[in-house]
Structure 1
Amino acid sequence: MWDTSNDYRLLVAEKSVELFLRTVEGANLKGKWNKKQALQAARKMTSEIQTLYYSYLEPSAIVTTPQIDLLEEQATEIVEALGGNSWHRQFPELANREEKPKLEESLAKIKFFLNTILGLKDRISLGEIEDPVMGIDIKKGEILSVSKHPEADQLLVCNVNLHQRAITVVTNDLEVREKNQVAVALLPPEVFMGITSEGMFLGAGEGILKDVKGDLGKLPHGIPLEALNEARNLVENFLQ
């Protein structure tokens, strides 16, 4: 019998709902969107996740439950409430320069939440695996551009292509270059001196992995287990 109450995928999903609720309640999102509808749909998610917590079903059975379908439907409803598939574009257009750093952090948190919920079925489909990194996505990316952090000489800001979307990752590896093939852990966003990082590059030993194999936007191949250690720690910290 699988202990669903300790499944990291469900634990991170529930925590991401809490993050979304806090973010939307406190964010200054200017534009045409339905805050009430977004909050109501998110609150419904908590009961669906709680039902899965105490189901003690095998992962293969969880993915066929109505709760999984309802979570995806509620996530879709939230996207619509935020303004549709291009929701993340309207808010920056209406923000002034002073508002943008905080807005970027809020939008990154919303994206993390939606990605966590909409990717839940695929992660659970991987089976009975007791590992904190199962709660998040690990994807292969390609670095599109690299620039110096405006406030920190020992940090670089990377724009990373994940096939279906691009994200910003802040790294302290000063050897990263355009076209590096990297493994990215899509973690809860973190702000580094005014720049929001939406993930973390995986690395083992000196520096990050820069020649990762696999399809862009998919789970990379042949990642050393030790490269996952920091991501594990950050997932555990998120859950505390």
Structure 2
Amino acid sequence: MSDTRNDYRILVAEHALGLLENIVRTRSIPGVIEWRKLEELIREARSLLMSIKYSFLPPRMLAEHEAVRKLQDLSKEISKILLPWDKLRTISLDKKAKMSIARAKYAIRILYGLPYRLVLGDENDPLYAVDIECVKILSVARHPNADKLYVTRAKGVLTYTIVTNIEGVKRDEIRAAAILPPVELRGEISEAMYCSDVINDPSCVGKRPKRELIDWKEVEKIIYEIVRG
């Protein structure tokens, strides 16, 4: 029996669902959105997540559980309604809306990817709680409002804006990035955090790097902050 009540993967998924609940409650993404339908889907997702949390199944076994698969399907439905990209691209977005969209993208990814993180291992490792992937840096620019920060774009599974203080960070470098709750850093939204030195392996882009390549201390610190609320 596993203590799924305290598994970091499930606790971070709870936090992600809370972000979605807040977005729906505040109606903070513009456009014509079926908010009532979203409320129903998120209530169902909350119920499923509670059954997952109190399943006490080993994580690898839990990954195949019907509730986990249903949660994954629900996350896809939520994404279609909450993030209609064809319409959002035509709307002028303020900072609040942009942050809500970034949070929704992160939260939906956390819920959708839960089964993939559960199969990483039965041990309760905080690094399993979020996606960590190798990314290739596409561009680097100085932060407009901070001399010691850089705004980068990086491509892994998706393309991310990552604000970093890594001195000398360069285009075409490959680094590990932890996909974390988005934060605003001096006016720029950052969707992830670099968590490795340069990785000399182009084949790893979009894949989870080996643990020994990850600078895990800062990632763990953020995971602990998330689960403490």
Answering whether residue 63 of structure 2 is matched by residue 63 of structure 1, we say: yes
The change in CA–CA distance for 1:212 and 1:50 in structure 2 (over 3 A counts) is farther
The size of the alignment, in residue pairs, is 227
TM-score, scaled relative to structure 2: 0.92
Partner of 1:206: none
Flag structure 2 segments of 5+ consecutive residues without an equivalent. Answer: none
SS of residue matched to 2:161:
strand
SS of residue matched to 2:147:
strand
- Looking at structure 2, the residues matched to 71 and 125 of structure 1 have their Cα atoms a distance apart, in angstroms, of 16
TM-aligned CA deviation for residue 27 of structure 1: 4.6
Report matched runs for 1:203-214 at 5 Å.
203=196, 209-213=197-201, 214=203
Flag structure 1 segments of 5+ consecutive residues without an equivalent. Answer: 204-208
Letter of the 2:2 partner, please give it.
W
The change in CA–CA distance for 1:150 and 1:90 in structure 2 (over 3 A counts) is farther
Partner of 1:30: 30
SS of residue matched to 1:184:
strand
Partner of 1:223: 212
The change in CA–CA distance for 1:89 and 1:179 in structure 2 (over 3 A counts) is farther
Partner of 1:82: 82
SS of residue matched to 2:25:
helix
Q: Which consecutive segments of 4 or more residues in structure 1 shift more than 4 A? A: none
- Looking at structure 2, the residues matched to 89 and 108 of structure 1 have their Cα atoms a distance apart, in angstroms, of 16
SS of residue matched to 2:212:
coil
Identical amino acids, percent of aligned pairs: 29
CA contact (8 A) 1:27 1:103 kept: no
TM-aligned CA deviation for residue 60 of structure 1: 2.6
- Looking at structure 2, the residues matched to 62 and 165 of structure 1 have their Cα atoms a distance apart, in angstroms, of 26
Q: 1:233 aligns with which of 214, 217, 221?
A: 221
Answering whether residue 128 of structure 2 is matched by residue 134 of structure 1, we say: yes
1:186-240 Cα shifts (integer Å, max 9, x gaps) = 011111011110110014xxxxx12253521110135346x11101110111122
